[in-house]
Amino acid sequence: MLEDTKAFLSSPLGSFINNQWVLRDDAAISEIIDPCTTETIASVQRGTEADLNAAVDAANEAFPAWSALSADERAGHLHRLADALEANFDTIAEIETLDVGKTITNTKGFDIPFGVDCLRYFADLSKTLPTDTELDIKDMEARIHRVPYGVCGFIFPWNFPYNLLLWGIVPALAAGNTVVIKPAELTPLSTLFFAKLAEAAELPAGVLNVVTGSGSVIGNAMCNHPKMKRVSFTGSSEVGKQIGATCGGNLIPCKLELGGKGAAVVFEDADLDLAAEQLSAAITFNTGQVCCTATRWIVHESVADAFTQKVTDLLKAVKIGHGLQEDTGMGPMASEKQRQTVVDYLQKGQAQGATALLAGECLRPEGCEKGYFMSPSLLTGDIDNICFKEEIFGPSAYLTTFTDEADAMKQVHSIEYGLANSVFTQDMERANRVANNMAAGNNWINAHNVFAYGLPYGGVNLSGLGGGVNSPETYYDYLRPQTVARPL
């Protein structure tokens, strides 16, 4: 472990409010566990409702000065944060791996660099996108003038703590809002490390605040705070509905980024090696704890056997182990609770008649005898099965076969999730038609899990409401339009 990681993990950790660390001798503690070893790696003091109130007050007081800065000045702060992340690249990658269990190859190759890019993308975008739009209306001089909302609250899940943090807060900050963040209690470390970098990079006090603790206390208080001007939630559809209802009751605008159960449709002319490679990666990337991943594999009946052979060969070859080992292909589940959820789904699915083409088993890789490890699984059966219909959130997929395009589309649309799907075929006319017709925020061709800045990402139906991330639209999500008009 790096010296900087050790120093951070052993330091006192708690909420970060108005550029102060809130630490108390009598605070309740969340023990943070390395899911590879089950050892406690850090202790984080839980915030209280009073801390949440103090954080909102600090963000509210910081708002006038932060929003009055020019876009260039705010962009300067965001670039300095990106520089700080780059300077601490290995440390933050290690912290994220230890906290979530994800592989160091992924944190160094995806999570951390993509977070740095997020800061630079929105910093540069905010300098070029106009806040005012002239309106062409007869006998009137009129325009839309966009202003930041004020204090924006963010609630995040445990699966991509660092990435989702940046995807969430950076456009809001670039647009001139101040933020209060509630990280998942299970995985708060990279958020707290980021707050330390913000402190060191002299982000003005109160612009970025983090309150640790549970969703039912801190998250709920956030959605009920009278000074909260906007809430963004990323997490399960079930909790998202509750948050939508609470925010709705208080007339706080909110956006919801929710769960998924992505479909991948593999046609008879698909490059099966590519499909097998993309889809095996889809359920082993972050140990399948990925909202947008493909877990319903809908394969043309004529190639189902060949595809199954290829994909199960790939899945069996994945090296499971400690996330910090460079050759690990898949780490553990992030918690014992999540592993048990997967085990329960596999049992229920098979009790309902599904067959296991690959049985997912709890296992103990050498050197990690206690971690929450599990091997990939692939079930097959009919589409009424619980494992086809519900989000499992683990290294598990469900394979069905189809006869023609209409049959495939019927299967895709047999459930209400609408986050991300993919289609595999060499016929681009068919690929684009199917991609256009699948109801989801994101549909990919001959690939799954495709992200880029400038490519809007979000969900519909059970998978989301009110916006997305990663694009100019996201920046405008954090600016409230008001009109200015003068009759001529």
Pairing of strands 442-445, 294-300: unpaired
* Stretch of 159-167, 319-327, 427-435, 478-486 lying at the interface with ligand NAP (CB under 6 A): 159-167
155 lies in the site for ligand NAP, by CB under 6 A: yes
79 in Cβ contact with 118 (< 8 Å): no
401 in Cβ contact with 308 (< 8 Å): no
CA distances to 164, 269, 300, 433 from 406, rounded to whole Å, are: 35, 16, 12, 12
CB of 401 to ligand NAP, least distance (A): 26
Residue with the shortest CB distance to ligand NAP: 215
Q: Distance between the two ends of the chain, CA-based, in angstroms?
A: 69
262 lies in the site for ligand NAP, by CB under 6 A: no
257 is catalytic: yes
* Stretch of 106-114, 239-247, 302-310, 344-352 lying at the interface with ligand NAP (CB under 6 A): 239-247
Residue whose entry in the numeric block shows the structure tokens 């605070």: 27
161 lies in the site for ligand NAP, by CB under 6 A: no
119 in Cβ contact with 85 (< 8 Å): yes
Query: What tokens were used for 243?
Result: 């948050």
For ligand NAP, which residue of 297, 464, 475, 479 counts as binding (CB under 6 A)? Answer: 464
> At 365, phi and psi to the nearest 5?
-65, 155
CB of 45 to ligand NAP, least distance (A): 14
Residue with smaller CB distance to ligand NAP, 41 or 44:
44
DSSP string, 360-393: --EE--TT-TTS-EE--EEEE--TTSHHHHS---
Residue with smaller CB distance to ligand NAP, 75 or 247:
247
154 lies in the site for ligand NAP, by CB under 6 A: no
Residue with smaller CB distance to ligand NAP, 30 or 375:
30
- Cα 211 to Cα 45: distance, rounded to the nearest angstrom: 10
Q: Is 464 left (phi over 0), alpha (psi -120 to 50) or beta?
A: left
How big is the site for ligand NAP, counted in residues (CB under 6 A)?
Answer: 31
The pattern of x and - marking residues 282 through 301 that bind ligand NAP according to CB under 6 A reads ---------x----------
Which residues, 6+ apart, have CB-to-CB distance to 61 below 8 Å? 206
Query: What tokens were used for 46?
Result: 């839980």
157 lies in the site for ligand NAP, by CB under 6 A: yes
- Collapsing DSSP to helix, strand or coil, 91 comes out as helix
> At 263, phi and psi to the nearest 5?
-105, 145
478 lies in the site for ligand NAP, by CB under 6 A: no
Please give the DSSP secondary-structure letter assigned to residue 130. Answer: -
66 lies in the site for ligand NAP, by CB under 6 A: no
471 lies in the site for ligand NAP, by CB under 6 A: no
Pairing of strands 355-358, 377-380: antiparallel
418 lies in the site for ligand NAP, by CB under 6 A: no
Site for ligand NAP in 193-232 (CB under 6 A): 214-216, 219-220
Residue with smaller CB distance to ligand NAP, 402 or 475:
475
CB of 179 to ligand NAP, least distance (A): 15
CB of 201 to ligand NAP, least distance (A): 25
223 is catalytic: no
Residue with smaller CB distance to ligand NAP, 71 or 155:
155
394 in Cβ contact with 282 (< 8 Å): no
158 HSE (CA, 13 A, CB side): 22
Given 223, 291, 292, 387, the catalytic residue: 291
417 lies in the site for ligand NAP, by CB under 6 A: no
Q: Among candidates 444, 469, 439, which has minimal Cα distance to 457?
A: 469
CB of 49 to ligand NAP, least distance (A): 12
Residue with smaller CB distance to ligand NAP, 50 or 351:
50
Residue with smaller CB distance to ligand NAP, 219 or 329:
219
Q: Where are the alpha helices (DSSP H) in 285-402?
A: 304-317, 336-351, 386-389
260 lies in the site for ligand NAP, by CB under 6 A: yes
> What is the enclosing helix (H) or strand (E) of 171?
helix 161-174
Given 257, 292, 368, 387, the catalytic residue: 257
Q: Among candidates 79, 122, 118, 114, which has minimal Cα distance to 93?
A: 114
For ligand NAP, which residue of 148, 150, 259, 262 counts as binding (CB under 6 A)? Answer: 259
CB of 459 to ligand NAP, least distance (A): 5
The pattern of x and - marking residues 331 through 370 that bind ligand NAP according to CB under 6 A reads ----------------------------------------
Residue type, 43: S
162 lies in the site for ligand NAP, by CB under 6 A: no
CA distances to 2, 133, 146, 415 from 334, rounded to whole Å, are: 22, 46, 40, 26
Binding site for ligand NAP (CB under 6 A): 155-160, 164, 182, 184-185, 214-216, 219-220, 234-236, 239, 242-243, 257-260, 291, 391, 393, 419, 459, 464
* Active-site amino acid positions: 257, 291
